[in-house]
């Protein structure tokens, strides 16, 4: 960012005004020309991103600084990608109808809502509310130039935001860990280190939101969980995220909330297949002992209990949602487009998604 003069400062709504980040940024960028864009919403929408993109192009922006949570950073990645795209509708790149441009606008991140881990990777998720879509995308060009993680900026997060962040980072690890036995002991242990650490600090963090060390640990766990190192050379699942995105697109539920609703259902659906890793997880992370079947079943119950203990429900009825209607809406939305079965063994077809949602009513 040293050489770039014209910066687009991309922000959410209010939080960076409250936590002092905006003031710090304005001071640090005194010698730059900074265009501020406020209003990136949770689950960033293509419409808002297109407004920011238009400004970025009109102002000949040279660098994007994203300050806020994962939504703001994801929006920055999309704008960076779309900036040099010459045709009319850059949404087409996400649908893989068009090849992506050869270059992207450089960007940096100031992450203030730990959870998504997007500050440490090359992926983003974008919503298109008018089409009821939420699509993930990644490109090797989309790594941030830098990411600033300052635990003090997270002191103002609410209990709910903190709990959602914990659930999101926890599930990120699990999506890369509960698969078939992989004979990859280091990846196993790296995942377990994160899971145990997150589990150990979670309740303390909710009780002590201004504790610097706890905030720092949570921030570092979130970044590590989604950095890509856990998935090197091993299969990954991500079915829970895919189904969760569909539910968010239809019901505008918070991302982490959808994960807590779905994860146990995916595990039950693929129980025989994932049994060994579920049992290992129950033993090494939750300290349980017993035979494999029992341990694997207890892993599902214990994980649900953990999310519930953070105040994040794991059943649709707790949110006054009818699972039958959710399942029907998701299936109808999915049947309108191309769909590849999900999960590390590609066993989750459209009917399985229906069963998974119904099992969590
Ligand atoms: Zn996530």
User: 335 C-alpha vs ligand 1 centroid, how far in Å?
Assistant: 24
How many Å lie between the centroid of ligand 1 and the Cα of residue 73? 13
Interval between CA 5 and ligand 1 midpoint (Å): 33
Whole-number Å distance, alpha carbon 162 to ligand 1 midpoint, is 14
| Mean pLDDT for all residues in the chain | 95
Per-residue model confidence as pLDDT tens digits over 322-343: 999 999 999 999 998 889 999 9
Q: How far is the CA of 112 from the centre of ligand 1 (A)?
A: 16
Q: List every span in the chain annotated with CATH 1.20.1090.10.
A: 159-358
3-state secondary structure 124-166: EEEEEHHHCEEEEEECCCCCCCCEEECHHHHCCCCHHHHHHHH
Q: Where, residue-wise, is CATH 3.40.50.1970 in the chain?
A: 6-152
pLDDT score of 358: 98
pLDDT tens-digit series, residues 57-74 = 999 999 999 999 999 999
Mean pLDDT of 343-357: 96
Which of 98, 57, 49 minimizes the C-alpha distance to 77?
49
Q: What is the mean pLDDT of residues 241-252?
A: 94
Q: Which residue has the higher pLDDT, 173 or 86?
A: 173
Q: Quick check: 81 and 90 in contact, CB under 8 A? A: yes
Question: How confident is the model over 280-304, as a mean pLDDT?
Answer: 98
Task: Give the residue, 317 or 336, on which the prediction is more confident.
Answer: 317
Mean pLDDT, rounded, for 199-206: 98
Rounded mean pLDDT, 184-209:
97
Distance of CA 180 from the midpoint of ligand 1 (Å): 21
Element (H, E) at 107: strand 107-111
Q: Quote the pTM value.
A: 0.94
Domain 6-152: give its CATH code: 3.40.50.1970
Please state the rounded mean pLDDT for residues 36-44.
Answer: 95
State which residues have CB under 5 angstroms from ligand 1, the bound ion: 168
For ligand 1, the distance from its centroid to the CA atom of residue 79, given in whole angstroms, is: 20
Cα of 200 vs centre of ligand 1, distance in Å, is: 20
Ligand 1 centroid distance, CA of 83 (Å): 25
Q: How far apart are the CA of 59 and the centre of ligand 1, in A?
A: 33
Q: Which residues pair with 147 in a beta bridge?
A: 109
**What's the pLDDT at 19?**
84
Is the pLDDT at 281 greater than 90? The verdict is yes
Per-residue confidence (pLDDT) for residue 77, from 0 to 100 = 97
- Interval 202-208 mean pLDDT: 98
- Cα of 41 vs centre of ligand 1, distance in Å, is 16
Does the domain at 159-358 match CATH 3.40.50.620? Answer given as no
């Amino acid at each position: 960012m040293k050489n770039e003069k014209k910066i687009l400062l991309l922000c959410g709504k209010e939080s960076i005004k409250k936590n002092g980040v905006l003031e710090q940024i304005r001071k640090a960028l005194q010698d730059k020309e900074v265009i501020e864009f406020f209003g990136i919403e949770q689950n960033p929408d293509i419409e808002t991103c297109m407004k920011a993109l238009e400004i970025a192009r009109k102002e000949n922006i040279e660098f994007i600084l994203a300050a806020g949570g994962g939504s703001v950073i994801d929006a920055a990645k999309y704008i960076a990608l779309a900036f040099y795209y010459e045709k009319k509708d850059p949404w087409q790149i996400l649908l893989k109808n068009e090849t992506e441009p050869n270059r992207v606008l450089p960007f940096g991140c100031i992450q203030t809502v730990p959870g998504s881990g997007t500050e440490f990777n090359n992926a983003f998720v974008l919503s298109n509310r008018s089409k009821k879509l939420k699509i993930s995308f990644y490109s090797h060009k989309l790594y941030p130039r830098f990411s600033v993680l300052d635990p003090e900026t997270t002191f103002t997060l609410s209990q709910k935001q903190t709990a959602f962040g914990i659930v999101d980072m926890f599930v990120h690890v699990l999506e890369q860990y509960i698969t078939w036995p992989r004979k990859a002991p280091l990846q196993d242990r790296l995942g377990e280190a994160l899971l145990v650490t997150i589990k150990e600090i979670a309740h303390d963090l909710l009780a002590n939101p201004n504790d610097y060390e706890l905030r720092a640990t949570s921030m570092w766990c979130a970044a590590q969980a989604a950095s890509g190192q856990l998935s090197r050379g091993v299969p990954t699942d991500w079915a829970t995220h895919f189904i969760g995105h569909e539910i968010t697109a239809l019901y505008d539920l918070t991302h982490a909330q959808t994960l807590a609703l779905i994860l146990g259902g995916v595990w039950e659906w693929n129980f025989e297949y994932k049994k060994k890793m579920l049992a290992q997880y129950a033993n090494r992370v939750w300290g349980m002992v017993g035979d494999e079947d029992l341990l694997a079943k207890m892993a599902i119950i214990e994980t649900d209990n953990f999310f519930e203990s953070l105040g994040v429900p794991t059943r649709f009825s707790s949110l006054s949602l009818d699972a039958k209607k959710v399942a029907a809406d998701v299936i109808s939305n999915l049947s309108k487009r191309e769909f590849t079965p999900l999960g590390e063994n590609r066993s989750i077809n459209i009917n399985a998604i229906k069963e998974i949602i119904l099992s969590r009513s």
